[in-house]
Amino acid sequence: MSLPGRLSTLPSNLAGKGLSYKAYPEQENTIDLKKTSLVLAHGLFGSKELFDNVSKQIAIDGRKVIVYDARNHGDSELSNEFDFASMAADLSDLIGNFGLTEPIIMGHSMGGVTVMTLALSNPEKIKALIVIDVAPVTSPVKDAFLSYSQAMKKLSFPKDTSLIEAKSQAKSGLSKSVPDEQLLDFFLTNLILDDDGQVKWRGILDAFLNNHDQLFPELEMKSYKSFTKPALFIFGENSVFYKADDLEKVKAIFPKAEIVIIKDAGHFLYDDKPAEFVAAVRRFCDDIDAS
């Protein structure tokens, strides 16, 4: 179980509703105040719900874990501004609104770039960094994700189509455009019913199509000083995001980075190998507490 909520962390033009989040563990009296809090940012087209199980496991010993929906994702509000500077500012505001003092921040994929951006631009805000299956280089899926999104946009669903039927139709209709079944199932989590019962895509689809050029930058070393606090980079051995040549770039920008490669795991390594993933995160966080 978790504590759901919403924080007014986004600009006023977002109706003041802000970021939707969940906090673990459920009972506040079980939180161990000696343990550094952990804030988790999901990836593009993801949501906080995808990290429910691993968040519970990370928080099982009393560590406070906060998982939130990024702007234009999940239950958070929509914005015409959709870039990493804005998302890093959202994360910074969230940390402030929770009254957290130097938490550990962790992000997967797009969320990984978000946490890297905050760590490099405002290192005083955090104690340590965990980056999940992404390196500070140009994304290898930039063109593919644009193609996938364009194919998703072309789909339409007749009135009175149920959500189950729509997902089945979408899976069939997109199977050639998105041949990776795991990735396709991931995209289909963004099909929802609107207030009138009509199936539609979450707002992230249009937000991405309108801003995709701003969402795949390379973090240039010239733009920031290196982040000299502890960092953990976790990659899936079979992920397209894991390239041995990129590790030199990781070490150049994050000189204290520890690299962990999880065997037989892909990009969604927290789902492919949850036990190994949780063990790596908990061990790193415990080391930070002990340092």
Interval 171-206: pLDDT, tens: 999 999 999 999 999 999 999 999 889 999 999 999
Binned at pLDDT 50, 70 and 90, residue 18 comes out as confident
The answer to whether residue 5 scores a pLDDT higher than 60 is: no
Catalytic residue, chosen from 206, 246, 271, 289, is: 206
CA-to-CA separations, 224 to 90, 94, 114, 137, in angstroms, rounded: 19, 22, 14, 14
Cα(95)–Cα(39) distance, integer angstroms? 8
Cα(246)–Cα(123) distance, integer angstroms? 22
Both tokens of 255, joined, read: 């000189």
Nearest by Cα to 234 from 202, 204, 266, 210:
266
Give pLDDT, residue 63: 97
Surface-to-core class of residue 161, CB atoms within 10 Å of its CB (0-12 exposed, 13-18 middle, 19+ buried):
middle
Q: Is 206 a catalytic residue?
A: yes
Average pLDDT over residues 206-212: 94
Cα(4)–Cα(67) distance, integer angstroms? 10
The answer to whether residue 10 scores a pLDDT higher than 60 is: no
135 or 225, which is more confident? 135
Both tokens of 153, joined, read: 């946009």
Write down the pTM of the prediction.
0.91
The answer to whether residue 220 scores a pLDDT higher than 60 is: no
Average pLDDT over residues 98-125: 95
Q: What is the largest CA-CA distance in the chain?
A: 58
Q: Is 267 a catalytic residue?
A: yes
How many angstroms separate the first and last alpha carbons of the chain?
30
Average pLDDT over residues 258-287: 98
Q: Is 289 a catalytic residue?
A: no
Give pLDDT, residue 225: 81
Domain ranges of the chain: 3-138+218-290, 142-213
Dihedrals φ, ψ of 145, to 5°?
Answer: -65, -35
Catalytic residue, chosen from 109, 139, 149, 239, is: 109
Cis amide linkage into residue 25, ω under 30° from 0: yes
Catalytic residue, chosen from 42, 73, 108, 267, is: 267
Q: What is the DSSP string of the chain?
A: --EEEEE--S-GGGTTT-EEEEEESSSGGG--TTSPPEEEE--TT--GGGGHHHHHHHTTTS--EEEEPPTTSTTSPP-S--SHHHHHHHHHHHHHHTT-SS-EEEEETHHHHHHHHHHHH-GGG-SEEEEES--SS--TTHHHHHHHHHHHHH----TT--HHHHHHHHHHHHTTTS--HHHHHHHHTTEEE-TTS-EEE-THHHHHHHHGGGSS----GGGS----S-EEEEEETT-TT--GGGHHHHHHH-TTEEEEEETT--TTHHHHSHHHHHHHHHHHHHHHHH-
The CATH classification of domain 3-138+218-290, taken from the options 3.40.50.1820, 3.50.50.60, 3.40.50.300, 3.30.1300.10 = 3.40.50.1820
